[in-house]
Chains A and B, each alone.
Chain A
Amino acid sequence: MQTIELINVRKSYDQFVAVNNLSFSIPLGGVFGLLGPNGAGKTSTIRMMIGITAPDSGQINLFGKPFERKSLNKVGYLPEERGLYKKMKIVDQLVFLGELHGMTAANARQQAVLWCKRLEIDAWLQKKVEELSKGMQQKIQFIAALLHDPDFIIMDEPFFGLDPVNATLLKDVMLDLKKQGKTILFSTHRMDQVEKLCDSICLINKGNAVLQGDLKTIKSRYGKCNVQIEYEGNGDFLDRNPLVSAYNNYGNYVEVRLAPGADAQQLLHMVAEKSRVNKFELMEPSLEEIFINTVGKTDA
């Protein structure tokens, strides 16, 4: 069974196609990245996944069944647009949202206190939201998404506006949830932020999926085509070398992009002949590079 499955989903607003024939599925457990630039259709996709809007065509299966509202009790959602009732007490607010997710008031209260302790804001439980700082409001919003112990957690731009301390705190909570077997979906345009967290990804651009699958497989498919070399001596080997498609030379340190089909070992031999090699490392491409590469191709 998949956590969620989108089959040929399409959504348009008037003339504008927000999501075009999108298909992907997220397996049970693990972290999934829904990535793409601003306006790619990420939020539109998420809204359809949790029934805020309905797709024009296509099918969405949640927890192995065609979408039904009842299943949302096992989904936690952190929207990109954060919002809470400003005049409501933190604890009342969390209990209210918990109840909406099918919890009893007593259970919701208990969980709210536990989570607030864990995120170190339990002193604020009886305060109103408007009395809290932005960062604290963010934490409340996270708790609201996690309070009812969902199996599937959707986070739209989760790190937006977080300071490094809180970002780390959140990341640790996420890794812990992953360990418990939960499925987590990160949606963001900041690919570098989630690259290390994701098990699998779907890159979307202009409403279309441009690349998807297991992150390791994708990276290996793109191969290790970047080389970092620290050397002493002559740097002439870089010029007019058929193995090198581009480079960035810092004197005794150079970053090289290999030409398609070039063998890194051959380059190593070549460098070693003329100069002393201190370090020679094959690098994986970053998600960003892969994205630019792929989108560049589809656009062309």
Chain B
Amino acid sequence: MHNIFIIAKREYLERVRSRSFVIMTLFIPLLMFGITVVPTMLANRRSEETKRMVVVAGDRDTAEMIRSRIERQQDQQKSGDKGAAKLGQKRSLPPTNFTVEVSTNTADSERAALTAKVKDKKLDAFLWATPDAIKARKLDFVTNDVSSFIDNGVLGVAVNDALRRSALKSKGLNDDEIESSLQSVEVAPQSPLGKNAPNPQVMFIATLGMVMVMYVTVLLYGVNVMRSILEEKTSRIMEVMLSTASAKDLMAGKILGVGAVGLTQVGIWGLTAGIFSSSALVASAGLIKGVLSLKLLLYFGVFFLLGYVLYSTLCAAVGSMVNSEQEAQQMQFLVMMPMILSVIFIVNIFQHPSSPVAIFGSLFPFTAPLVMFSRIAIQPETPSWQIAASIALMIATIYGMVWLCGRIYRVGILMYGKKPNLPEIMKWIKYA
């Protein structure tokens, strides 16, 4: 026990003092800041650029209707949520400003001329909304930016809106009647727990965030355990260590020490995030309320620790088996596979937290950390026997893995040369 503590202490101090720890601790929040805040800031800077497009329709009324809807849609997009909510649309990045001109010349020669203009960049785009095209329900939008999906999406909404209005108008409805019949309604998901239940969207994003933190940290520190064992193996210090401490103590000390570093780092990140977003938290306290309950944070801690111990034990065995970083990387992928699979299926599990796949995933020990935690977060009524069974199965598996990997580790750390194959590893496990 004493030796485990000394080994963990060394591991912890050496790592926390290292330059790479400081860099990682600073770099990840900066990166997060970079990928979340910077694009929003850039997006909020209104695009000054104005492009020119032509709407070609069979009659002036249709063309004008399309133009007015496009301009209106652009205004609403720029003014943000207000208009978007009205149209039942999520807020997105502001689109390009189009100056819309109209034309009623539907001759093929006009189309060819406009196409040539777009090609020569004299015009940015044109919409071919002739009666034939409308009848076929397919309008060609010729543009140099075919991949600009935001612009094209906005345009689609606007054009459909315009065509519906034209159709209703031709049926003799007046503007007010058209406006009220096209008014969209919001469908608001509501948990049976009533008004106090957390906002499902905020819940979704918060859970996804926590799952990703768990995933990244377990992966990162699992690999760290493996690297550090490999390093001890290649620097040949193992034998000195083994003359005082048992292999089991070495492995346990390493896993605990590296894990403590991981907790420290996550703690620092959490605290920083808390401080920086405190103003945002105050603003959205109503939204956050009920999402980050103490109970959920507790479950996060439990599943994070169990997941970390399970995976770092496996990584310890891998680290002891291999002789080089390259060999380690191949094996590392295999070991981390269940973790990666959980992340791939996580959105599916969010949507169907009681599906057989979700239940299996939450009980299978290697996917349980991410899947069970997601289920608990998304579905507060997850049966407690399943939660208990999941934790019990994980603890039992950890116990078995510590035994198994401990035996591989004990032999592996003294083996140099070629990478062992499966029969050899089986033999190692059997050695006294």
Looking at A73-81, A205-213, A256-264, A275-283, the stretch in contact with chain B turns out to be A73-81
Known: A100-B241, A101-B244. A82 touches B236 (CB 8 A): yes
A56 is an interface residue with CB less than 8 A from chain B: yes
Collect the chain A residues with CB atoms within 8 Å of residue B241's CB.
100
B238 is an interface residue with CB less than 8 A from chain A: yes
A96 with B6: CB separation less than 8 A: yes
Known: A14-B427, A77-B243, A88-B14. A99 touches B235 (CB 8 A): no
A240 is an interface residue with CB less than 8 A from chain B: no
A81 with B427: CB separation less than 8 A: no
Q: Which residue of B lies closest to A72 (CB)?
A: B244
B243 with A83: CB separation less than 8 A: no
> Considering residues B2, B18, B243, B427, which has the most beta carbons from chain A within 10 angstroms of its beta carbon?
B243
A75 with B243: CB separation less than 8 A: yes
A52 with B242: CB separation less than 8 A: yes
A87 with B239: CB separation less than 8 A: no
User: A19-52 toward B: CB 8 Å interface, digit per residue (1/0)?
Assistant: 0000000000000000000000000000000111
B432 is an interface residue with CB less than 8 A from chain A: yes
Q: Distance in Å from the Cβ of B129 to the closest Cβ of chain A?
A: 69
Collect the chain B residues with CB atoms within 8 Å of residue A79's CB.
236, 239-240, 243
Q: Distance in Å from the Cβ of B246 to the closest Cβ of chain A?
A: 6
Q: Which residue of A lies closest to B243 (CB)?
A: A77
User: B415-432 toward A: CB 8 Å interface, digit per residue (1/0)?
Assistant: 000000000000100001
A69 is an interface residue with CB less than 8 A from chain B: yes
User: B217-257 toward A: CB 8 Å interface, digit per residue (1/0)?
Assistant: 00000000000000010011111111111100000000000
Determine the distance from Cα of A96 to Cα of B2 in the docked complex, in whole angstroms: 12
User: B3-14 toward A: CB 8 Å interface, digit per residue (1/0)?
Assistant: 100110010001
User: A132-164 toward B: CB 8 Å interface, digit per residue (1/0)?
Assistant: 000000000100100000000000000000000
Collect the chain A residues with CB atoms within 8 Å of residue B246's CB.
51, 69
A54 is an interface residue with CB less than 8 A from chain B: yes
Collect the chain A residues with CB atoms within 8 Å of residue B7's CB.
100
A250 is an interface residue with CB less than 8 A from chain B: no
A197 is an interface residue with CB less than 8 A from chain B: no
Q: Distance in Å from the Cβ of B184 to the closest Cβ of chain A?
A: 62
Determine the distance from Cα of A72 to Cα of B232 in the docked complex, in whole angstroms: 21
Size of B's binding interface in residues, CB under 8 A = 23
Known: A69-B246, A100-B244. A83 touches B6 (CB 8 A): no
A52 with B14: CB separation less than 8 A: no
Collect the chain A residues with CB atoms within 8 Å of residue B6's CB.
96, 99-100
Determine the distance from Cα of A75 to Cα of B244 in the docked complex, in whole angstroms: 9
- Residue B240 contacts which of A14, A53, A86, A97 (CB distance < 8 angstroms)? A97
Known: A52-B414, A69-B246, A100-B244. A85 touches B3 (CB 8 A): no
| Those of B178-207 within 8 Å (CB) of chain A | none
Collect the chain B residues with CB atoms within 8 Å of residue A144's CB.
240
Determine the distance from Cα of A56 to Cα of B7 in the docked complex, in whole angstroms: 29
Looking at chain A's contact residues, the main secondary structure is: loop
Determine the distance from Cα of A57 to Cα of B350 in the docked complex, in whole angstroms: 56
Determine the distance from Cα of A234 to Cα of B175 in the docked complex, in whole angstroms: 141
| Those of B380-402 within 8 Å (CB) of chain A | none
Determine the distance from Cα of A215 to Cα of B242 in the docked complex, in whole angstroms: 31
A84 is an interface residue with CB less than 8 A from chain B: yes
Determine the distance from Cα of A81 to Cα of B242 in the docked complex, in whole angstroms: 12
Q: Which residue of A lies closest to B14 (CB)?
A: A88
Determine the distance from Cα of A96 to Cα of B246 in the docked complex, in whole angstroms: 15
Size of A's binding interface in residues, CB under 8 A = 29
Q: Which residue of A lies closest to B241 (CB)?
A: A100
A77 with B240: CB separation less than 8 A: yes
- Residue B237 contacts which of A50, A51, A85, A102 (CB distance < 8 angstroms)? A85
A56 with B432: CB separation less than 8 A: yes
A84 with B235: CB separation less than 8 A: yes
Collect the chain B residues with CB atoms within 8 Å of residue A87's CB.
14, 18
Collect the chain B residues with CB atoms within 8 Å of residue A141's CB.
240
A83 with B432: CB separation less than 8 A: no
Collect the chain A residues with CB atoms within 8 Å of residue B243's CB.
50, 52, 72, 75, 77, 79
A83 with B244: CB separation less than 8 A: no
Determine the distance from Cα of A99 to Cα of B6 in the docked complex, in whole angstroms: 7
Determine the distance from Cα of A53 to Cα of B18 in the docked complex, in whole angstroms: 34
Q: Distance in Å from the Cβ of B426 to the closest Cβ of chain A?
A: 12
Q: Distance in Å from the Cβ of B1 to the closest Cβ of chain A?
A: 12
Collect the chain B residues with CB atoms within 8 Å of residue A96's CB.
6, 10
Known: A14-B427, A52-B414, A54-B432. A97 touches B244 (CB 8 A): yes
| Those of A69-125 within 8 Å (CB) of chain B | 69, 72-73, 75, 77, 79, 81-88, 96-97, 99-102
Collect the chain B residues with CB atoms within 8 Å of residue A99's CB.
6
Collect the chain A residues with CB atoms within 8 Å of residue B238's CB.
83
Determine the distance from Cα of A86 to Cα of B232 in the docked complex, in whole angstroms: 9
B235 with A85: CB separation less than 8 A: yes
Collect the chain B residues with CB atoms within 8 Å of residue A72's CB.
243-244
Collect the chain A residues with CB atoms within 8 Å of residue B236's CB.
79, 81-83
B235 with A52: CB separation less than 8 A: no
Collect the chain B residues with CB atoms within 8 Å of residue A88's CB.
14
Q: Distance in Å from the Cβ of A43 to the closest Cβ of chain B?
A: 9
Q: Distance in Å from the Cβ of A280 to the closest Cβ of chain B?
A: 50
Collect the chain A residues with CB atoms within 8 Å of residue B414's CB.
52-53
A sample of 15 more A-B contacts (CB under 8 A), given A83-B239, A86-B235, A100-B6, is A52-B239, A52-B243, A72-B244, A79-B243, A82-B236, A83-B235, A83-B240, A84-B235, A84-B237, A85-B14, A85-B235, A85-B237, A96-B10, A99-B6, A100-B241
Residues of B whose CB lies within 8 Å of any CB of A are 2-3, 6-7, 10, 14, 18, 232, 235-246, 414, 427, 432
23 examples of A-B residue contacts, CB within 8 angstroms = A14-B427, A52-B242, A52-B414, A56-B432, A72-B244, A73-B244, A75-B243, A77-B239, A77-B243, A79-B239, A83-B237, A84-B235, A84-B237, A85-B14, A85-B237, A86-B235, A87-B14, A97-B240, A99-B6, A100-B241, A100-B245, A101-B244, A102-B2
Please list the 7 inter-chain residue pairs (A to B) with the smallest Cβ-Cβ separation, ordered nearest first: A83-B236, A83-B237, A77-B243, A79-B239, A81-B236, A100-B244, A52-B242
